[in-house]
């Protein structure tokens, strides 16, 4: 037996080890391509769900946001991965208004205590959407 290979019957008497090569699978390149396709499809799924109506979770109706409605500013809770452009496109499509500006704020989690357990609220993203004068969103009216 040689150091780097196995002896075969042909070279047993010679004392020289011949390296035996294992057959290379032809599917290795296709496996890589399949992995790339899976990653690409996952990205497509993420972007398609983010660009759909799933971006806007809920309107935020508080005293402060209700006062901002007089200035044509509406506040929404949105998914963490959404961008300003995605928020703008979805608001225009859902409510039929023209959006002038979108401000995004990442709200840090607050510390909460319940009995003896200490924990934190979830981190979330908030979008403040400025709508063109004359347009309005009906979700915030009558609250």
**pLDDT at 54 (0 to 100):** 74
| One domain, residues 72 and 125 | yes
Q: Which CATH number goes with the domain that contains 70?
A: 3.30.70.330
- By the 10 Å C-beta count (0-12 exposed, 13-18 middle, 19+ buried), 126 is classed as middle
Question: Mind listing the pLDDT tens digit for each residue in 69-93?
Answer: 999 999 999 999 999 999 999 999 9
- Rounded to two decimals, what is the model's pTM? 0.59
- Model pLDDT for residues 34-73, shown as the tens digit of each residue: 666 655 554 444 444 444 567 888 899 999 999 999 999 9
Which domain covers residue 16, as residue numbers? 1-51
Shared-domain flag, residues 119 and 64? yes
Mean pLDDT taken over the chain: 78
| Domain count of the fold of the chain | 2
Residues 65, 89, single domain; the answer is yes
**Cβ atoms of residues 105 and 123 within 8 Å:** no
Judged on CB neighbours under 10 Å (0-12, 13-18, 19+), 129 is buried
């Amino acid at each position: 037996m040689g150091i780097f290979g196995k002896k075969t019957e042909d070279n047993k008497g010679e004392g020289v080890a011949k390296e035996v090569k294992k057959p290379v699978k032809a599917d290795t390149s296709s496996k890589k391509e399949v992995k790339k396709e899976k990653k690409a499809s996952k990205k497509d799924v993420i972007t398609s769900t983010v660009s759909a109506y799933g971006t806007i979770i809920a309107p935020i109706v508080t005293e402060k946001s209700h006062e901002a409605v007089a200035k044509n500013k509406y506040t929404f809770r949105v998914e963490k991965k959404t961008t300003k452009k995605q928020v703008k496109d979805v608001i225009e499509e859902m409510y039929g208004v023209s959006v002038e500006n979108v401000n995004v704020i990442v709200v840090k989690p607050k510390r909460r205590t319940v009995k003896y357990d200490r924990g934190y609220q979830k981190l979330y993203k908030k979008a403040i959407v400025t709508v063109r004068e004359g347009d309005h969103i009906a979700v915030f009216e009558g609250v």
